[in-house]
Amino acid sequence: MPQKEAENKVFESITEIAANRGFFWPTSEIYPDKLAGFFEYGPNGLALKNNILKVWREELVEKENMIEIDGCQILPTSVFQASGHLKSFNDPLITCSKCGFKTRADRLIQEVTKEEIPEKLENEKYNELIKKNKIVCPKCKSFFNKAEIWNMMLKTGIGAELKQAYLRPETCQSIFVNFPRIFKTCRVKLPFGIAQIGKVFRNEIAPRQGLIREREFNQMEIEVFFNPEKENEININNIKKETISLYKERLNKTTVEQALERRLIKSKFIAYYLTILKKFYLKLGIPEDKMRFRYVSKEDRPFYSKETWDFEVLTSLGWLELCACNHRGDYDLSGHQKLSKQSFEVVDETVNKKVLPNVFELSAGLDRALYAILELTYKEEPKDDRTIFSFPEKLAPVQVAIFPLVNKEGMPELAKKVYEMLKPLFKCFYDESGSIGRRYRRQDEIGTPFCLTIDGQSLKDATVTLRERDSMKQIRIKISKLIKELRK
């Protein structure tokens, strides 16, 4: 089978499994006017999503003493004038001269030529490439009109007068707008991070590939503010021996210390935040040999960034960007300072000097992470007639499933007692329907790491069988020792 076909098969099958097992599916799927690029999360998807967020909060926000805020999704025009999004948040659009089919010029050229095509070329360059490669409309084989600039902002009208406003395309703009107030009221000192989770909206020209390119999606963003004169004054002792894979012209697998010595990474500040980000993704169960940071060239970098490293994960779709790590300099703070005519400068107490902070950003897509976790943990084991998601325990939608072996002889009563005992501590699920084998398979299918079965012997000696998902090993254990064992 050609590689591309096989790869798409994996993606398609994970997407189908996700829908069938209550993770996610297209929005309003029962209607013919359903919108492309919008997805709904079912109970298992929502639980997985919340568990990813929990790990993100624990590993980044809490460990690094960051502040978290929750800003609005609709913001006034001024915010996006100052941020540059109304002028520069664009993709190159091409329209078929005959059938009107619309698509992204860079993507179509890339698909046809199999070459990397930058997102930020002049339109004239796309026109030349289309002509040179004789690219025609994939629907009706006619010629395309000249490439145009397509702004991805979603506009809305507020109140009866329909005052123009926009749905935010990245969560961080409210972090920047709120920066002076947060600095004044939250007793923070440079350097410090502000984090935010939330929905964002982009009017993508051609959303495809499920959760990978949506029009409404979730971000987990962190903006770290620092004095630009102190970009190398951060203690990296506890991370300098960590390994890190940096793709800059070629793959460099190195320690953080060596990456700095070899000037692969420009500053200790960037090295520190890339490393803690890597550790967060390891906690999500992404194998280290499937992750890398890719240095993004000037032509491909977003308009607000001086330096970008994309955190990427190898999936069946190729290297997939899960998090953009951008050095935004003072681009945003100076933009809002200028338009609002308010000062965004703050005092760096360590040098007793007023500075306009610089920003290093970790902008992670939640939905893409969720897809990558599903794909990388999915296994088919035909020998045992089962499929599993081998999620890390912390991510599993259900952590412990509890079954009475049969639906009689006092087993359901004891099983319910065990369920009530464990419920406050773990995400539990009680199931008494179907054969025991079928019940185990159902839990494997949604990645439940532990199943407990209450059988005849349980009634005699207060023990249960504890089955572990990946090995399918079963041990017999006293009910009184269950909590300790499961915690372990």
- Given the complex with ligand GAP, which of 202 and 386 has the nearer CB atom? 202
- Given the complex with ligand GAP, which of 96 and 172 has the nearer CB atom? 172
Residue 448 touches ligand GAP, criterion: CB under 6 A: no
Going across the sheet that includes 90-95, the strands are 102-104, 90-95, 148-151
Number of Cβ within a 10 Å radius of residue 26: 15
Residue 321 touches ligand GAP, criterion: CB under 6 A: yes
- Considering only residues 172, 277, 466, 486, which one is a binding residue for ligand GAP as defined by CB under 6 A? 172
Lay out the site mask for ligand GAP across 366-395 (x = CB under 6 A, - = otherwise).
Answer: -xx---------------------------
Residue 324 touches ligand GAP, criterion: CB under 6 A: yes
Beta strands in 122-215 (DSSP E): 148-151, 154-158, 163-167, 192-201
Inter-residue contact 117 to 129 (CB < 8 Å): yes
**Cα–Cα distance for residue pair 231/344, rounded to 1 Å:** 19
Cα–Cα–Cα angle for 274, 397, 400, rounded to 5 degrees = 120
Point out which span in 8-16, 43-51, 117-125, 361-369 binds ligand GAP (CB under 6 A).
Answer: 361-369
- Considering only residues 18, 130, 190, 322, which one is a binding residue for ligand GAP as defined by CB under 6 A? 322
Q: What are the backbone angles phi and psi of residue 383, rounded to the nearest 5°?
A: -55, -40
Residues ≥6 apart with Cβ < 8 Å to 60: 66, 195, 222, 276, 277, 280, 362
**CB 53 to ligand GAP: min, Å:** 14
C-beta nearest to ligand GAP: residue: 365
Lay out the site mask for ligand GAP across 40-79 (x = CB under 6 A, - = otherwise).
Answer: ----------------------------------------
Task: Kindly state the number of chain residues that form the binding site for ligand GAP, as judged by CB under 6 A.
Answer: 18
- Given the complex with ligand GAP, which of 180 and 365 has the nearer CB atom? 365
Show the tokens assigned to 20. 């069938």
Inter-residue contact 467 to 458 (CB < 8 Å): no
Q: Which helix (H) or strand (E) holds 54?
A: helix 43-56
Residue 365 touches ligand GAP, criterion: CB under 6 A: yes
Residue 204 touches ligand GAP, criterion: CB under 6 A: yes
Point out which span in 320-328, 329-337, 348-356, 478-486 binds ligand GAP (CB under 6 A).
Answer: 320-328
Distances (CA, A) of 334 to 83, 88, 304, 305, 341: 9, 17, 11, 14, 10
In the chain, the amino acid numbered 160 is: A
Point out which span in 134-142, 364-372, 414-422, 451-459 binds ligand GAP (CB under 6 A).
Answer: 364-372
- Considering only residues 59, 91, 106, 170, which one is a binding residue for ligand GAP as defined by CB under 6 A? 170
Residue 396 touches ligand GAP, criterion: CB under 6 A: no
Show the tokens assigned to 470. 């990946």
**CB 417 to ligand GAP: min, Å:** 44
Q: Are strands 400-404 and 450-454 parallel, antiparallel or unpaired?
A: parallel
Residue 363 touches ligand GAP, criterion: CB under 6 A: yes
Point out which span in 293-301, 317-325, 409-417, 453-461 binds ligand GAP (CB under 6 A).
Answer: 317-325
List the interface residues with ligand GAP, window 212-231 (CB under 6 A). Answer: 213-214, 217, 219, 221
427 burial type by CB count under 10 A (0-12 exposed, 13-18 middle, 19+ buried)? middle
Distances (CA, A) of 343 to 168, 182, 315: 23, 13, 45
Q: Summarize as ranges the residues that interact with ligand GAP (CB under 6 A).
A: 170, 172, 202, 204, 213-214, 217, 219, 221, 321-324, 361, 363, 365, 367-368
